[in-house]
């Protein structure tokens, strides 16, 4: 009888122990593992360049199991949201690194300084900033791009009796470097007249059609910004004169302009690579590695003939990415 009683008591104790163990909270490895977040702050969310940058960042983040914050400013809304606001917001949300495509129209000194104070590296993509607190700049070699564009134009018009109109709009280091590269190529020419129409900050961009009427002898136009390339391409669709137009990446209409011969050639960069490398370099920095001050991705001269080549399709047709 006593033996049966002890057996019952033992079973009750074991059952109670099992119940206690089963309902005890077990620490989850998922809740204790901290996820690294990388923020991409664009200057605009519109256009193929922004699309490619985002694709590059997302691809690199996916491969490394990282979280991303991807935002762009809104200067036209009822409540202005600036890049500075977005940078501070990303820092407050725990971003460990910021990939910044800086706006030309905003002073980001304070926000970049705040990131430095918090020990968060800021990498500049596509554009070059005058700031010692930028950890690394990943961009086109703008000087090389300007040189390539000028060289491509000269190859198409020849060096005999040429008249070239160079168009551009001042706006930070990027344009200054592009113009410097173009001048270097054009200064090597003999027998070619070079006309510069560089718009100062705040000035209105002159009409391309009016410039063509003012200089009827022009047989080549070199556009050093995407905005000027877009404007000139639209005029070329109505112009009957044989004028060679070489420009820079003008966004989503670039393939149409090249196919229709409105633009004879265009220098395109690699935003996808910039976004991808931005994540890679940010993680390298967080892991204690030293980064170069500047890293240049490749640029290529694309025209209607070579844009269909396999090595150029991802540049000319971003949706293929």
Give first-to-last CA distance, the chain, whole Å: 80
- List the domains of the chain with CATH numbers: 35-134+270-298 (3.40.50.2300), 142-268 (3.40.50.2300)
The answer to whether 274 and 136 have CB atoms below 8 angstroms apart is no
C-alpha dihedral (115, 117, 119, 122), degrees to nearest 10: 30
Q: Which letter does DSSP use for residue 244 in this model? A: E
Q: Residue 152: enclosing H or E segment and its boundaries?
A: helix 142-157
Within 13 A of 129's CA, how many CA atoms are on the CB side? 25
The count of other CB atoms within 10 Å of the CB of residue 145 is: 26
Q: What Cα–Cα distance (Å) separates residue 183 from each residue in 154, 164, 200, 221, 297?
A: 12, 12, 17, 14, 22
pLDDT in tens, the chain (321 residues): 455 555 555 555 555 555 555 555 554 444 445 789 999 999 988 888 888 899 999 999 999 999 999 999 987 767 788 999 999 999 999 999 999 999 878 889 999 999 999 999 999 998 888 888 999 999 999 999 999 999 999 988 876 667 888 888 887 788 889 999 999 999 888 778 888 888 887 778 888 888 888 888 888 999 999 888 998 999 888 776 788 999 998 877 888 888 888 999 999 988 999 999 999 999 999 999 999 999 999 899 998 888 766 665 566 555 444
> What gap in Å lies between CA 314 and CA 277, rounded to an integer?
17
> What gap in Å lies between CA 212 and CA 206, rounded to an integer?
11
Could you tell me which of 208, 303, 224, 299 has the C-alpha nearest to residue 263?
303
The answer to whether 304 and 259 have CB atoms below 8 angstroms apart is yes
Rg (CA), the chain: 28
């Amino acid at each position: 009888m006593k033996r049966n009683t002890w057996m019952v008591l033992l079973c009750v104790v074991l059952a109670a122990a099992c119940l206690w163990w089963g309902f005890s909270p077990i620490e989850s490895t998922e809740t204790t593992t901290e996820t690294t977040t990388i923020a991409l702050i664009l200057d605009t969310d519109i256009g193929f360049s922004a699309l490619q940058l985002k694709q590059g960042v997302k691809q690199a983040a996916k491969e490394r199991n990282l979280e991303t914050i991807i935002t762009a400013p809104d200067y036209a809304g009822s409540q202005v949201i600036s890049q500075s606001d977005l940078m501070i917001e990303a820092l407050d949300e725990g971003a460990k690194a910021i990939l910044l495509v800086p706006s030309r129209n905003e002073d980001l000194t304070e926000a970049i300084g705040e990131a430095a104070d918090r020990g968060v590296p800021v990498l500049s993509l596509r554009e070059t900033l005058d700031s010692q607190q930028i950890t690394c700049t990943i961009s086109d070699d703008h000087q090389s791009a300007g040189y390539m564009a000028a060289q491509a134009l000269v190859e198409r018009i020849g060096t005999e009796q040429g008249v070239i109109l160079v168009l551009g709009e001042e706006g930070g280091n990027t344009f200054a470097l592009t113009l410097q590269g173009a001048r270097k190529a054009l200064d090597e020419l003999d027998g070619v007249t070079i006309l510069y129409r560089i718009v100062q900050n705040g000035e209105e961009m002159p009409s391309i059609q009016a410039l063509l009427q003012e200089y009827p002898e022009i047989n080549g136009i070199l556009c050093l910004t995407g905005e000027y390339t877009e404007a000139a391409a639209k005029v070329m669709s109505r112009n009957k004169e044989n004028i060679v137009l070489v420009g820079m990446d003008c966004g989503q209409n670039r393939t149409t302009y090249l196919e229709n011969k409105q633009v004879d050639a265009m220098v395109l960069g690699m935003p996808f690579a910039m976004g991808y490398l931005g994540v890679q370099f940010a993680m390298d920095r967080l892991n204690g590695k030293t980064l170069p001050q500047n890293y240049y991705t490749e640029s290529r001269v694309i025209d209607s003939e070579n844009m269909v080549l396999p090595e150029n399709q991802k540049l000319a047709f971003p949706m293929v990415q």
